[in-house]
Structure 1
Amino acid sequence: MPKSQAPSIPRLAIVKTGSTYPSIKAKFGDFDHWFVRELGEGLDISVVNVAAGESPGHPEQWDGILVTGSPAMVSEGADWSERTALWLASAVNLQIPLLGVCYGHQLLAHAFGGDVGYHPQGRESGTFGVKLFDSAKTDPLLGQMPIQFQAQLTHRQSVLRLPESAVLLAKNEFEPHQAFRIGHCAWGVQFHPEFTPEIMKAYLDVQSPDLETENQDASALISSVADTPEATGLLKRFAELVQNR
């Protein structure tokens, strides 16, 4: 096939909303590296650091959008965060496949009128079970997952109230809004499909002093970290969804 007729590779924007702890970044790389590793081949991936002031351009220049986690808090209402929320709303209205993770999950809910704030029970950090609702059975992204699966989690803020337009897809004992969908192809997940067990353990190690202050057993949480293949597989399925759009 002549080069001029070759099919274009779908363009995916990783909207970076912050960076991990310096010690973890030095050993494992940053958020965007972890996503690129799990998304696999077949996408033309660009990283746009909106927290550093970079612009993602017009949503229509992307075939898919992924929004990372962040040490920032959505409730702080930083200028870059509020601008990104408006941009995400435009992307969803254009039906561009979108996946928000942790901060991205919360920002997507905020963009459509949901409430985001500190979880009343504090921090959730470690490997925990997640359960899908019946609404997820026919979901294009989560529908292939088992009803119950393990996932890596670390967050202090949560979606306290979902937007009216959202379809709730998953929960666990601690967090009632683990996953949701808006429209046909925009998802938010509170858990971290990009985390490996080693990264999760590194987070818990850094957080150990705070966890102990919060009356959580950091050693037990580290010991209970497990592999989470079902949650991690979500990223390859999202990549396939973008490729098949």
Structure 2
Amino acid sequence: MTHTASSPARPVEPPRLAIFKTGDSFADVVAEHGDFEDLFSARLDGFRRRGGVIEVIDVRRQPLPAISDQDGVMVTGSHAMVSDREAWSEALKPWLREALDCGLPMFGVCYGHQLMAEAFGGSAGYHPRGRECGTRTLTLTEAGRGDPLFGALPDAFAAQLTHAQSALSRPEAATVLAANDHDPNQALRYGPAQYSVQFHPEFTVQVTAAYLAHQRDILVAQDEDVEALERSVVETPEASSLLDAFALTLFDRRS
């Protein structure tokens, strides 16, 4: 009897996660804590420990990658405004639509949230109540409580926020996962693995405090109690856990 040796199974390649950089933070924040992409990467310890590959792509200056070359994408925040419709920002919209059609897992934050909402049929612009900044409490919707990613969070959780613009209307097919009294679209899901959030899961206490200091005059003009906002800044472990939890799902898709 002839025995044919079986070929050894090829190892499964680790997933590749692209961080789409859409802007720069304040110079002092970058010097002391890192830029947006650094803050994202710092929240991805579990993904890196398992061998996940992270690539930063500055979409303002670098060409957009082939969708087939990515296993997942995160879109950062920015000091730019979606309503300004800068050329690089508008060019990203059809890429995001194609990526959604292809089922590519995506997670947008702040600017990324607003841009994804617009790309998929909603609208973004200046919030009529002005800027929201500091640590705020968000509440999961019924859909959020049943979501495979957000369902691990408590019904009410703290999150770091700083934004003047919002997703003013959500795409018709989007599902609201979390909200608060300032913004009914704090977290949206567009497909089985396509999410965006208005809040900043990557921010630390120190970064949030720095943003409050930079925006003090704006907040005072809105009759905000800035001292109370400063005192209320706390760590937000539940919100921050979302980035690594999302990234770790990419391993399941590669197995």
Q: Above 0.5 in TM-score?
A: yes
2:29 to 20, 24, 30: 24
1:222 aligns with 2:230: yes
Greater Rg over alpha carbons, structure: 2
Unaligned runs of 5+ in 1: none
**Inter-CA distance 219–79: structure 2 relative to 1 (3 Å threshold):** same
Q: Displacement, 1:134?
A: 0.4
Of all paired residues, the percent bearing the same amino acid is 45
Indicate the residue corresponding to 1:176 in structure 2.
184
Matched, 1:77 2:96: no
Cα deviation code 1:127-178 (max 9, x no counterpart): 0000010011221211111111000000000011100010111100111100
Q: Which residue does 1:56 correspond to in 2?
A: 64
Give the whole-Å Cα distance in 1 for the aligned partners of 2:8 and 2:108. Answer: 34
Alignment RMSD, CA only? 1.5
- The answer as to 2:51 corresponding to 1:46 is no
Name the residue aligned to 1:125: 133
The residue aligned with 2:40 is 35
Residue 152 of structure 2: aligned partner:
144
Find the aligned partners of 2:223 and 2:91 in 1 and give their Cα distance.
Answer: 37
Residue matched to 2:204 = 196
TM superposition shift of 1:241: 1.1
Q: CA deviation at 1:207?
A: 1.3
1:122 alignment partner, SS class: coil
Q: Which residue of 1 aligns with 2:4?
A: none
Note if contact 1:102-1:191 (Cα within 8 Å) is conserved in structure 2: yes
Give the Å deviation of 1:3: 11
What letter is aligned with 1:111?
A
1:13 alignment partner in structure 2: 18
Q: CA deviation at 1:27?
A: 0.8
Aligned residues: 243
Deviations 1:14-56 (A, max 9, x none): 00000101111111110000111101113200000012x2123
Q: 1:236 maps to what in 2?
A: 244
Structure 1 partner of 2:219? 211
SS in 1 for 2:161: strand
Equivalent pair of 1:166/1:180 in contact (CA under 8 Å): yes
Q: Give the residue type in structure 1 aligned to 2:86.
A: A
Task: Please tell me whether residue 154 in structure 1 is matched to residue 154 in structure 2.
Answer: no
In structure 2, C-alpha distance between the alignment counterparts of 1:199 and 1:141, rounded to whole Å = 25
Secondary structure at the aligned position of 2:244 is classed as helix
CA–CA distance in 2 between the matches of 1:143 and 1:209? Answer: 37
Deviation at 1:214, TM superposition (A): 2.5
Unaligned runs of 5+ in 2: 1-6
Residue 143 of structure 1 aligns to a residue in which SS? Answer: helix
Corresponding residue number in structure 2 for 1:92: 100
1:70-98 deviations in whole A, cap 9, x for unaligned?
Answer: 00011111110011111111111111110
Whether contact under 8 Å (1:63, 1:97) holds in the other structure is: yes
Cα distance between partner residues in 1 of 2:138 and 2:63: 34
Q: Distance in 1 between matches of 2:210 and 2:14?
A: 35
1:19 counterpart SS class: coil
**TM-score, normalization: structure 2?**
0.92
